[in-house]
Amino acid sequence: MKKIEHIGIAVKDIEKSNKLFAALFGKPHYKTETVKSEGVKTSFFDVGPNKIELLEATTPESPIAKFITKKGEGVHHIAFAVTDIISEIKRLKEEGFTVLNETPKMGADNKMVAFLHPKSTNGVLIELCQERE
């Protein structure tokens, strides 16, 4: 893994949170994106070498809606940039981690992504992401 690419934060109201985090960072988010397949609306902030991704559910079945019901708003996942997501998935499976996506899927921000089950990572949802060419 190369570096922390971004940290995902689950929020109830992304418009409100965009203002809150803009005030925190001293600059506005630089893009928003809806990932229909995941039922999320996202926005991204550039913070030095890493990004912050805000996630709001667009449907009640969205994993973000379920997360907020269970745990409330807050840190949802940590995403690590990888150069070769396929071989990284294979390596992590061999290490005994539970990979939720055997085949990487399309995520926000032009990335191929895969998640590791938090049960196998001390309660932290881990996202692997590889920039699409």
63 vs 97, beta carbon nearer Zn ion: 63
In the bound state, the residue with its beta carbon closest to Zn ion is 8
Q: Where are the beta strands (DSSP E) in 1-133?
A: 3-10, 31-35, 40-47, 50-57, 74-81, 105-106, 111-116, 126-131
Q: How far is the CB of 42 from Zn ion (least distance, A)?
A: 8
The reply on whether position 79 binds Zn ion by CB under 5 A is yes
The reply on whether position 128 binds Zn ion by CB under 5 A is no
Q: Which of 32, 28, 20 is nearest to 47 (CA)?
A: 28
The reply on whether position 8 binds Zn ion by CB under 5 A is yes
22 vs 52, beta carbon nearer Zn ion: 52
Q: How far is the CB of 25 from Zn ion (least distance, A)?
A: 17
Q: What sign does the dihedral 100-102-103-104 (CA atoms) show?
A: positive
Binding mask 44-63 for Zn ion (x = CB under 5 A): ---------x----------
Q: How many other C-beta atoms can be found within 10 angstroms of the C-beta atom of residue 59?
A: 11
The reply on whether position 65 binds Zn ion by CB under 5 A is no
The residue count for binding Zn ion (CB under 5 A) is 4
Q: Which of 74, 42, 77 is nearest to 58 (CA)?
A: 42
Q: What sign does the dihedral 124-122-65-101 (CA atoms) show?
A: positive
Q: What residue ranges bind Zn ion (CB under 5 A)?
A: 8, 53, 79, 127
